[in-house]
Amino acid sequence: MQDRSPPVVILVRPQMGENIGAAARAMLNFGLTQMRLVEPRDGWPNPKAVAMASGAAGRVLDRARVYPTLADAMAGITFALATTARGRELSKPVFTPATAMDAARAHDGQSAIIFGPERAGLENGDVARANAIVTVPVNPDFPSLNLAQAVLLMGYEWGRRTLPPEPAPHARKADAELLADRIEIERLGDHYQDRLAEAGFFFPETKAESMRLNLRNMWSRLTLTRGDVRILHGVLRQLTRR
């Protein structure tokens, strides 16, 4: 099944431009690009937010829309999640970030994640407008999360199923960085075995075969690149040149 549209991120009464910019960076890390702001304390646009967003994440801020109330910011949203450690007295489902994003994917419509102001978080009146609550299971002795950290956690849970599991390589590996194949390892072992035999290493004769077998087994256990193999050949040639 094709993934739903990424959730909208709604920041309610954010207090510092730096945190809005950091939240934009966290969003773009995981493919979230729609930001809505409700009553940003220091107005909008905010140069400190732009400075913190740094580079590509600035486009998230360029597209951000400002609303006078959370109710207005919910236009077009059909499933909303309120991130809070409070508000459990309200009769709502309570999710972890992972299960919340599963619910957002399963919903046939536009979802949103609502984050409160840095100092006190969402008020109960804000939480009441959401379909469900998201609570991060953190150390109960220190449950406070920075706004950008909270956005990052939710973004990660959304993006981990849609983004590549490993970073894409930036460039093709050089030949020296490629793993040596078994033939290259075999030839390296032959080279060392021949030179060691010439030096009288395999002595006494009764133990020679066992010594060769152990050395061959040692080479096979090593993970070597083609560059490593060339260096080891060169080392042996230099040592035996005289």
**86, 202: one domain:** no
Question: Quick one: which of 158, 36, 32 has its CA closest to 105?
Answer: 158
Domains in the chain, number: 2
**202, 132: one domain:** no
pLDDT, tens digit (0-9, with 9 covering 90-100), for 105-147: 998 889 999 999 988 889 988 999 999 999 988 888 887 788 9
**155, 179: one domain:** no
**23, 125: one domain:** yes
Q: Identify the residue whose tokens are 């994640």.
A: 113
Query: CA–CA separation, 179 vs 218, rounded Å?
Result: 17
Residue 168: inside a domain, yes or no?
A: no
Q: Which amino acid is at 236?
A: L
Residue 169: inside a domain, yes or no?
A: no
pLDDT at position 137:
85
Query: Residues in the chain, how many?
Result: 242
pLDDT at position 161:
78
pLDDT at position 241:
84
pLDDT at position 162:
73
Domain that holds residue 15: 8-159
pLDDT at position 163:
73
pLDDT over 70 at 11, yes or no: yes
**123, 19: one domain:** yes
Residue 181: inside a domain, yes or no?
A: yes
**218, 100: one domain:** no
Quote the pTM value.
Answer: 0.69
**142, 201: one domain:** no
Contact 8, 38 (CB under 8 A): no
**85, 40: one domain:** yes
Least confident of 97-106, 128-137, 150-159, 163-172: 163-172
pLDDT at position 1:
39
**153, 197: one domain:** no
Q: In terms of DSSP H, where are the helices of 128-204?
A: 147-159, 182-198
Residue where one domain finishes, among candidates 159, 190, 206: 159
pLDDT at position 88:
58
pLDDT at position 2:
43
Residue 73: inside a domain, yes or no?
A: yes
CB-based burial, 211-221: b 16+ in 10 Å, e otherwise? ebeebeeebee
pLDDT at position 139:
85
202 phi, psi to nearest 5 deg: -85, 80
Greatest Cα pair distance in the chain: 90
Residue 166: inside a domain, yes or no?
A: no
Contact 35, 27 (CB under 8 A): yes
What residues contact 30, with CB distance under 8 A and at least 6 apart?
A: 152, 155, 156, 158, 159, 160, 163
Residue 219: inside a domain, yes or no?
A: yes
